[in-house]
Each structure stands twice: as structure tokens, then as C-alpha cells.
Amino acid sequence: MAQCIYLIDDDEAIRFSLSALLATMGWETKVFESVQCFMEAEPDVQNLNGCLLLDIRMPGKSGITLLENWQQMGSTLPIIMMTGHGSIDLCRRAFKNGAFEFLTKPVDADLLIETVGAALEQQKLSQQQRENQADLQAKLATLSAREHEVMALIMQGKSNKEMARDLSLSPRTVEAHRASLFARLEINSLAKLIKIYGGLKGTT
């Protein structure tokens, strides 16, 4: 899915100027005059790809309110806050609630492009990590109950003989289970097993 910049601002002139600026970078931008319009057009925020440019103060639901609810809505889309009436407290509140950056209007063109570029890159990396983890979890789901037991003992540093004793199996059977789980997980060494799966839940 291509990345998109979602721009929410009640000022039509700002929506026009910022979307025109972002277009010079080849970025797709969707503009909305309010949080309500954005939510109606994009109800499935969990699957959005890109970043959000969000004015803090707007009629109706404010940008800061959306920010405060953003993580609860299940979205990891980076949010860049904008305001023409910034304060230290407002800035602190924005970052406390996970804002990617806090920009004051009029927004400097070079700074905006740099910030949006960084936000898009972060979101891209985050998306890749989620996809990789989902792939790892899918592979783990193919293991049998016995293979999960063997894997847990491998993670504890047990030898084949120790695993055989703990599981009341023959060393040869343990070795067969070990070879099978390595094949299912598409890895070829103990080091890769620990590096790739050591941090995932359900592996110990």
C-alpha cells in the first residue's frame, strides 16, 4: 500500500498551501477540514499507511483530543502536530501522548518536508517490523506441541541429552523434533533461532 499524508486543518488556505508543497515531493496528500470529516472518510485507522498532519485547535473535535485517543484506536501512524498558538504545556502534552513532532505556524517549508519524510520513514520501518513479526508468529503456529516444548528447552540452553531426559524421549527423537522445527521455521542454526525468535512471546 502506498503511503499517504492525511492533512487535517480547518483553514482552507493552509490545506491548499501545504498539500501543494507536499505534492512537489511526489507525496500523495488527502485533506480534511475537521477530525469528523477525517474519521468519516477513514474509519479504519489501523490500516492507514503514511503519516498525519494535524492542527491542534479546530471547531468540533480538536486535534489534541484525536491525538490522545490515537493509540487506543489501534493506529501506529505518526502524528505531526501543528499550531499557530503553541505553548510549552501544549507541546509537552502532545509529546506525552505520542506526537512525532510539534510544529508552529507558519510552518517552515524545509522543516515540514524534513519532518514528514522522517515520519514516513519511521512508519515504513514500523510496518515492516509488524509484518515480519506476523510472519514469524505464523511460522511458530505450524509447530506441534512437542516441537514447542523442544524449542523452549533449546532457548534455555539445554543439550539434546538434557532435553531427552526432561521430555522422557530418546536423544534421537529429540534430534528429529529439533530438525523438524528448524525446517518449519526456515532457519539453519541455533544462533539464528535465538536471534530471530528469542524475543517473541510464546517461545519460552
pLDDT at 75: 85
pLDDT at 74: 82
pTM for the whole structure: 0.69
pLDDT at 195: 83
The architecture of the domain spanning 142-197 is Orthogonal Bundle (1.10)
pLDDT at 9: 95
- pLDDT tens by residue, the chain, 204 residues: 689 999 999 999 999 999 999 999 999 999 999 999 999 999 998 889 999 999 998 888 889 889 988 988 888 899 999 998 777 888 898 999 999 999 999 999 999 999 999 999 999 998 888 888 888 889 989 999 999 999 999 989 899 999 999 999 999 999 999 999 999 999 888 888 888 887 664 444
Q: How many CB atoms lie within 10 A of CB 59?
A: 10
pLDDT at 199: 67
The CA R_g of the chain, rounded to the nearest whole Å, is 24
The architecture of the domain spanning 4-131 is 3-Layer(aba) Sandwich (3.40)
Domain locations in the chain? 4-131, 142-197
Domain 4-131 and domain 142-197 have a common topology: no
- Could you tell me the strand order of the sheet in which 50-55 lies? 28-32, 4-8, 50-55, 79-83, 101-104
**Residue 95: CA count within 13 A, CB half-sphere:** 9
